[in-house]
A = this chain, B = another copy of it.
Amino acid sequence: MPRIALMQGNEAVAEGALAAGVRFYAGYPITPSSEVAEVMARRMPQVQGVFIQMEDEIASIMAIVGASLAGKKVLTATSGPGFSLMQEGLGYACMIEAPIVILDSMRYGPSTGMPTKVSQMDLMQSRWGTHGDHWLIVYSPSSVQESYDLTIRAVNMAEKYRTPVVILSDETISHLREPITIADVSPTVDRRLPAERAGYLPYKTDATLVPAIANVGTGFRTSFTGLVHSDTGFQTANGHVAEALITRLRDKLLSKLDDIIELEADRVEDADITFISFGITARGVAEAVDVLRTRGKKAGSLRLVTLFPFSDDRIRKAAGNAPTIVVPELNSGQLVLLIKRVFGDSRRIVPLNKVNGDLISPADILNFVAEEKL
């Protein structure tokens, strides 16, 4: 029977991960994500899992990559400064196709900024932080329940597509307590493993474009490298192989957008003004839309649950036809850059930014709409 529990966002991420089968956690404390480590330190021994506090965030991401190659489902959690340090390892995980999940709980930046204040300033970094062409999945929870659910989904997607998945949360959700419903069992996905040793080519793929790579220690003798590699797993500097690899890494995700992308539209059909937002900001939007509607203003909301891959097409379709689109976010304007690209000149795109460490409240939105005469 599903049970209801009051949890903090960070706890929900940890419990969601455990429910999804995560049995290895490596991390380094940092506000506002540290509670994930603290919960894992307590919980892992109870489920015969491994908790290890590493010497830094670089070691943390590399340790989960190692554990992932050894067959574990894995998680690490951090915030901006640690996420910056993890970027090289993140690209490595993309390249060798190691299923890993990273929580980045956003705080105010840049640099150490304001460690206990909320922001949504790592949005673009979550897509472009590491060097080189790469693709990954980024989810954005906006509640504690979703922190739990999306973590399960993140783990499953990481396994299914052998890709890093980032959960881009924030200080508010990390520390918010809400009652959540926990199912007895959660749907889990396990990575596909190769059937037999004969003819085993770790990076050879079928139509799914996702390789069935053996876990280390199971007799398949796989070779992993962050260098460009052929189906054999061995390095090559062959341009054709490189192009094929990089293209497959893209297409294995971009060809599965139906499965990966979740957008939540609310009353956009007849809207005159639609808000496009993500994460905690969508909560203020939801309330503001209610109020606007009661005031007779046709408002709607599109919430990006999946931030990346970012599909211009899907967002265009899901957003409805409101002539005015407002993009509220807790940064100086990042999502709005993408939204502008999506809609070209066809709509009026209005950024609404707050960078003082507080949330965008329903009142902020209502005032903005009034002031800007939207």
A positions within 8 Å CB-CB of B: 58, 79-81, 83-85, 87-88, 91-92, 94-96, 104, 106, 108-117, 119, 121-122, 124-125, 127-134, 225-228, 237, 239-240, 242-243, 246-247, 250, 331-332, 334, 337, 340-341, 344-346, 355-358
- What are the residues of chain B within 8 A of A113 when measuring CB–CB? 95, 132, 226-228, 242
| C-alpha spacing A319/B84, complex, angstroms | 35
Contact A133:B332 (CB < 8 A) given known A128-B128, A227-B111, A242-B117: yes
| C-alpha spacing A356/B133, complex, angstroms | 12
> Is A110 a contact partner of B133 (Cβ separation < 8 A)?
yes
**8 Å CB contact of A80 from B132, B247, B344, B345:** B132
Contact sample, A vs B, 9 pairs, CB 8 Å cutoff: A84-B129, A85-B87, A111-B132, A113-B132, A121-B133, A125-B130, A127-B128, A242-B356, A345-B346
> Is A237 a contact partner of B357 (Cβ separation < 8 A)?
yes
Top 5 A-B pairs ranked by shortest CB distance?
A: A109-B132, A80-B131, A110-B132, A111-B226, A239-B356
| C-alpha spacing A96/B111, complex, angstroms | 9
- What are the residues of chain B within 8 A of A115 when measuring CB–CB? 227
> Is A242 a contact partner of B341 (Cβ separation < 8 A)?
no
Chain B residue nearest to A332 in the complex (CB): B133
**8 Å CB contact of A85 from B88, B225, B356:** B88
